[in-house]
């Protein structure tokens, strides 16, 4: 009978099971994946939106990027080296979304990203600031699709991701 009602209402028991590795239910994972598919359609534009907002809020961060450190702010969005870095942010987020059902892959990917950024001198504070920018960019990009439920699912996703990323960033692998 449960299968009949799940077909009618679009709900299954798996929707409510919490993945202990991520803290996300099946429904929340699908919500993150479906909203991400909207944002990731144009990876360069989405990445530029994230990095532009990050640099608006923290202009001192631009100095950490030799490839575009001296590029005037007004020219950043058109700068190919800036765009390449922006696209790499979306690639990293794609990796997170793609690995939501594979804890080992999620962990390995994010610890490696954290380690690379540790070698460049990045801090947990800088990544925490990036996390807020990602949430604000999602809110703007998704408009009315960024419901309270969507926001909560994204917070859980980023919290799970940052747990592993911070391990790599702090060198405790």
Q: pLDDT tens across 66-112, in order?
A: 999 999 999 999 999 999 999 999 999 999 999 999 999 999 999 99
pLDDT at position 5 is 40
Q: Is 48 exposed, middle or buried (0-12, 13-18, 19+ CB in 10 A)?
A: buried
Is the pLDDT at 11 greater than 80? The verdict is: no
Is the pLDDT at 12 greater than 80? The verdict is: no
Query: What CATH number does the domain located at 26-170 have?
Result: 1.10.490.10
Mean pLDDT of 25-31: 95
Chain segment 146-168, per-residue pLDDT in tens: 999 999 999 999 999 999 999 99
Is the pLDDT at 47 greater than 80? The verdict is: yes
């Amino acid at each position: 009978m449960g299968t009949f009602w799940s077909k009618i209402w679009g709900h299954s028991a798996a929707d409510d099971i919490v993945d202990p590795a991520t803290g996300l239910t099946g429904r929340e994972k699908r919500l993150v994946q479906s909203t991400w598919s909207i944002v990731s359609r144009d990876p360069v534009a989405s990445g530029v939106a994230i990095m532009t907002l990050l640099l608006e809020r923290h202009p001192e961060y631009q100095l950490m990027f030799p490839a575009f450190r001296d590029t005037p702010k007004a020219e950043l969005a058109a700068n190919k080296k800036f765009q390449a870095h922006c696209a790499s942010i979306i690639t990293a987020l794609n990796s997170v979304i793609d690995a939501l059902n594979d804890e080992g892959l999620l962990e390995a990917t994010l610890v490696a990203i954290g380690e690379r950024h540790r070698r460049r001198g990045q801090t947990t504070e800088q990544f925490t600031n990036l996390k807020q920018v990602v949430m604000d960019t999602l809110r703007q990009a998704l408009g009315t699709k960024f419901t309270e439920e969507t926001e909560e699912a994204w917070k859980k996703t980023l919290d799970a991701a940052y747990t592993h990323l911070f391990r790599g960033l702090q060198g405790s692998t």
